[in-house]
Amino acid sequence: MDFYLGLVQIIGVHTLLGLSAYCVLLTGQVSLAQAGFFAVGAYVAGMLTVLGGWPLIPALAVASLAAGIVACAVGFPALRVKGLMLVVATTAFGEAVRLFFFNFTYQLERGELRIGPHGGEGFRQIRYFPENGWSTLDVMLFIWVVVIAVMAALWWMDRSRIGAVLRAVGEDELAAQSSGINVTAVKVSAMTIGGLIAGLGGGLFAHYTTHIEHVQFGVVLATFAVAYPILGGLSNVFGTLIAVIFIQGFLIEGLRFMGDWRNLLFGGLIVLAMIVRPRGLIDAGTLVALKRLLRRGERAGA
């Protein structure tokens, strides 16, 4: 049982990571800086609970805010460029964040132990959950309360005019500008929202893995962050969730019985998924079909 609860935790946190990239992708930008924001969230939250002795929720809030501020600050210059330039610029930024934490040491004496981030050796013993009597189920529920809140907020945002504006910018910046939209402000806002969400995810990540170090926040994680929404489709937030379940639940854990083949299949199935569903697992067409199905069901029911 614990195993499933743990897996659901992982799915939850990765969904947050994917959603942070989703916000930015809506405006048509591929950002590989999300792992950097995730790292900021992880380190800030971890330091607050371990070194500062803070309770988790305020620590998460501050972590999210910190990552949001970083995202906003980096968004202004970075979003001057687009396309491949932005991909590389954000990769550079994400790597810079990782390397900052590689060089970052801030330890306090606690009895005979030294606690806190210690450069390349990482930040050990972020044990807020077990020390405060949280069971795996509690942690899972807590993570999912956060995930559902974020998903609901994004779902609602998607339906509001903000969503239409974000997508309009993503489709055609020139036309959006000419329709009176401040494109820079919209893109930076999207990046900031993405940063807030990534920070939240990072804070949770630090606490359920209990140990963080710079290597975890590299290019691979950043790639996964954008892979989730792209693989899932950008038509709504559930695409990202489905993709996380596909990757974490199916490709990683579900295919375990394949033994040595599992890892070969991992990359291969991602390629295959993109060939079969180039617009993502859930695209606008799927939604229309689903709606039709639902409507037919309603009619049949009534």
Partner 1 sequence: MLELRRLTKYFGGVRAVDGVDLTVAEGEILGLIGPNGSGKSTIINLICGLFPLTDGEVVFRGTDISTLPPHERVALGIARTFQNIRLFGQLTVWQNLWVAQKARGQGRGFLRGWLGGSRHDRVAIDKTLDFFDLGHKRDELAGNLAFGEQRRLEFARAFAAKPSLLLLDEPAAGMNAEEIDQLDARIRQLRREGVTIVLIEHHVELVMSVTDRIAVLNFGQKIAEGTPAEIQTNPLVREAYLGTQTAA
Partner 2 sequence: MLDLIDALQSVADGVLFGATYALLGIGFTLIFGVMHKINLSYAAASIGAAYASLLLLAGVKAPPVLVFLMAAACGGVIGALVYFVAFRFIPLANPLATLMSTVGLLLLIDEIVVHATAGVPLNYPALFSDVVIRAGAFNLRGDLMFVFALGCVAMVLLWALLYRTRLGIATRAVSQQPVAAQLCGISIDGVNILTFVITGVLGGLAGAMTGAAIGVLSPLLSLPLTVKGLIVTVIGGLGSIPGAIVAGLLVGGIENVVQFFRGVSERDLYVMMLLFAFLVFRPGGLFAPAAGRD
Partner 3 sequence: MYGKVAVIAASLGVIGALGAAPAFAQERTVKITGFGAKSGVVRVFGINSEAALKAAAEEINKAGGVTLGDGTKGRFAIEFLDDRCNAEEGISVVRRIASSDAFVAVGPTCSNVAESLFGILQKKVGDASDTGLQFPIIADVAAKGGLAKISEWAFRNVPSEFEMYKSLFAWLKTQHPDLKTIWGGVEKDFAHSNATFGVMKSQAETNGLKVLGQSEWLLADTTFSTQVREMRRANPDIVAISAHPFTTCGVLKEMDRQGVKPKLLIGLTSSSSIETLQGCAKQAEGIIIPTSFAPVTPEAKKAAEQVAKLGGSADLHSAAAYEIMFILKDVIEKQKIMAKADTVQADRVKMREGLAALKETNGLLGKVGRTPDREAIKPFLFVHAKDGSWQVLYKPAS
Q: Any contact of residue 93 with partner 2 (CB under 8 A)?
A: yes
Give dist(CA 58, CA 48) in Å, integer: 9
Instruction: Rule CB under 8 A: say whether 162 interacts with partner 1.
Output: yes
Select the span of 11-19, 36-44, 60-68, 170-178 touching partner 1 (CB under 8 A): 170-178
182: contact with partner 1 by CB under 8 A: yes
> Residue 223 is which amino acid?
T
Query: Can you tell me the distance from the alpha carbon of 163 to that of 153, in angstroms, rounded to the nearest whole number?
Result: 11
Q: Does 81 bind partner 2 (CB under 8 A)?
A: yes
Binding partner selected for residue 219 from partner 2, partner 1, partner 3, none, CB under the kind-specific 5 to 8 Å limit: partner 2
Q: Which is nearer to partner 2, 89 or 212 (CB)?
A: 89
What amino acid is encoded at 282 in this protein?
I
Question: What are residue 96's phi and psi, to 5 degrees?
Answer: -60, -40
Of 85, 137, 152, 164, the one binding partner 1 by CB under 8 A? 164
| Residue 231 found at the interface with partner 2 (CB under 8 A) | yes
Return residues touching partner 3 (CB under 8 A): 1-7, 10, 102, 120-122, 124-127, 129-136, 208-211, 213-216, 249-250, 252-257, 259-260, 262-263
Contact 197, 108 (CB under 8 A): no
The yes or no reply on residue 284 touching partner 2 (CB under 8 A) is no
Please report the DSSP string for 213-234 in residue order: -GGGGSHHHHHHHHHHHHHH-S
Task: Check residue 158 for interaction with partner 2 (CB under 8 A).
Answer: no
Residues of the shown chain interacting with partner 1 in the complex, contacts defined by CB under 8 A: 160-162, 164-165, 167-168, 171-172, 174-183, 284
